[in-house]
Amino acid sequence: MMNRLKTYGWVSLFVFLVVSCGKNPKAKIEGTFSGVSEDTVVLEMISARERIVIDTVLTDHKGFYKFKVDIPEKAPMFFNLICDGSTIPLIVAPGEKLTVNSLCDLGRNYTVEGSESSRLLREFNTFYNQSVSTLDSLSQLFTNIPSDKEHEANKKEILDKYLKEYYRIKREHIKFILSNASSMAAIYALYQRLPNDTWLYNETSDLIYYQTVADSLSTHYPTSSRVKALQNEIDQRKKTIDLIQQISTLEESDSLSFPEIELQDVNGKNRKLTDYQGKTILLDFWSLKDTHSSVNNAEMKELHKLYADKDLVIFQVSLGDEKADWIATVREQKLPWICVYDSKGASGIAAMSYNIQSVPANVLIDSEGKIVGRNIFGEELKDKIAELIR
């Protein structure tokens, strides 16, 4: 009997060890950074709340490095490899062995093997870095063209190219998220933005993409803290959108369905938004700090040219800029609409009345004084205005 118990005990221990090894939470990350000899490589773990440096090593004379890391969850987690001023983002699951090599320009010119999620992350970043570079080049080209009648056609051509590229990037961005919704790489892509963009696409539709990713990942990784944090953010956003809709409903039920704005223009004259009730109003909020402001203004000039004589009023509020710089820009760009200034920025009554937290932002008000659109741009804005002004 005692022998049987001993035998049973050894068998149980053997089974335990086999099972434990099968669920080993450790992962390995190694590789070679050519040209980076005896330099420090930092491994940083990124949770839903914080970044933590968990280990540092020195590369050898050939640039080889190696990490062994505990994964604290039964789900992939985000890490950064940092070396020589460059960062390589990774997604690492328990038990994975990643090989990350680079020749030069570590953050861009690298390869990764052993992790499908990290491979997808690299694919997305390559696309996005190239896209941002293209937009920056077009924006700079647009800015360098003189704002006069002789160069008007050239500026329009560059603007059209910029907008076409901008919306192509947006479509590809969303396509990546939806195509890879079951990968943690989709969470990373959800939070990437083109420079000065607040939303992935727009405030309302963004929630659909967030929820799609959360639903898919919760099936695969129900205990993941990152997935839980994503769902909590979705719940908070839903509450915010509901609040905005309630405010809009109250505005529409009032005899004056949009809040008043009264601010000074470039000549020091008080301009009141309600003076234009009965017309279609595009209420635009901007700032000189927004690098896309000149492009957005050029786009609105097209709308002004088409509809200014058909009762479209553009009422533009500058938030928090230096007043002298704002006046100079308005005059330099020859902005043909109503331009007013609020030195208090996002904490001013104008921004607070319309729940504006960042720029660019806009509110579309129809001829009956009802708010019929928020934060719509490009072709969608043109179509909406064309629908309102017939």
- Alpha-carbon gap, residue 137 to 158, rounded angstroms: 10
The residues near 48 (Cβ < 8 Å, ≥ 6 apart) are: 225, 226, 228, 229
Confidence (pLDDT) at 248? 56
The predicted pLDDT at position 246 comes to 62
Evaluate whether residue 89 is within a structural domain.
yes
**What is the pLDDT, as a whole number, of residue 50?**
86
SS3 24: coil
pLDDT of residue 15: 42
Type of residue at 96: E
Give the pLDDT of the chain (390 residues) as one tens digit per residue: 444 434 444 444 444 444 444 455 789 999 999 888 888 999 999 988 889 999 999 999 999 999 999 999 999 999 999 998 889 999 999 999 999 999 877 777 899 999 999 999 999 999 999 999 999 999 889 888 887 788 888 888 988 888 889 889 989 999 999 999 999 999 999 999 887 777 787 767 788 899 999 999 999 999 999 999 999 988 888 877 676 666 555 554 444 468 889 999 999 899 999 999 999 999 999 998 887 888 889 899 999 999 988 989 999 999 988 888 999 999 999 999 999 999 888 778 888 888 888 888 999 999 988 889 998 988 899 999 999 987
Confirm whether 4 is domain-assigned: no
Residue 13 within a domain? no
Q: How many CB atoms lie within 10 A of CB 172?
A: 14
Asked if the structure places residue 223 within a domain, the reply is: yes
Backbone angles phi, psi at 78, to 5 degrees: -90, 135
- Note whether residue 304 is domain-resident: yes
Residue where a domain terminates, one of 81, 114, 147: 114
- Within a domain: residue 228? yes
Residue 323, CA distances (Å) to 295, 320, 336 in order: 21, 8, 18
Nearest to 319, CA basis, from 285, 356, 355, 283: 285
Alpha-helix residue ranges (DSSP H) falling in the chain:
2-22, 116-144, 152-179, 185-190, 203-220, 225-253, 293-307, 323-332, 349-353, 378-388
pLDDT at 156: 86
Please check whether residues 246 and 271 belong to one and the same domain.
no
**pLDDT at site 250:** 52
- Give the CATH number, domain containing residue 76: 2.60.40.180
- Tell me: do 146 and 234 sit in the same domain: yes
Are the C-beta atoms of residues 46 and 226 closer than 8 Å to each other? no
Q: Which of 59, 80, 114 is the last residue of a domain?
A: 114
Q: Helix %, strand %, coil % for the chain, to 5?
A: 45, 25, 30
Q: Which of 70, 91, 114 is at the close of a domain? A: 114
Q: Is residue 255 part of a domain?
A: no
Q: Is residue 241 located within the same domain as residue 127?
A: yes
Q: Do 241 and 275 share a domain, yes or no?
A: no
Cα gap 165→344, rounded to integer Å: 34
Instruction: Confirm if 333 and 301 have CB atoms less than 8 A apart.
Output: no
Domain residues for 46? Answer: 21-114
Residue 366 neighbours by CB distance under 10 Å: 19
Q: Angle between the 152-179 and 116-144 helix axes, to the nearest 10 degrees?
A: 170
Do residues 373 and 266 both lie within one domain?
yes
The pLDDT of residue 24 is: 52
Same domain as 63, residue 131: no
Say whether both 153 and 216 belong to one domain: yes
7 lies in a domain?
no
The packing angle between helices 152-179 and 378-388, to 10°, is 110
pTM of the model: 0.62
**Do 246 and 131 sit in the same domain of this protein?**
yes
The answer on 103 and 131 residing in a single domain is: no
Peptide bond into 360 cis (omega under 30): yes
CATH number of the domain within which 289 lies: 3.40.30.10
Q: Residue 278: which residues within 8 A CB-CB, separation 6 or more? A: 311, 367, 369
Q: Do 129 and 91 have their domain in common?
A: no
Q: Does residue 242 sit in the same domain as residue 273?
A: no
Dig out the tokens for 115 from the structure: 């992790």
Q: What angle do CA 91, 96, 102 make, to 5 degrees?
A: 60
Q: Are residues 102 and 135 in the same domain?
A: no
Give the per-residue pLDDT at 32: 94
CB 280 within 8 A of CB 365: yes
Q: How many domains does the chain have?
A: 3
Residues 6+ apart with CB under 8 A from 64: 30, 31, 32
Residues in contact with 236: Cβ distance below 8 Å, sequence separation at least 6, in sequence order = none
**How many whole angstroms separate alpha carbon 244 and alpha carbon 42?**
43
- How high is the pLDDT of residue 4? 46
Q: How high is the pLDDT of residue 243?
A: 65
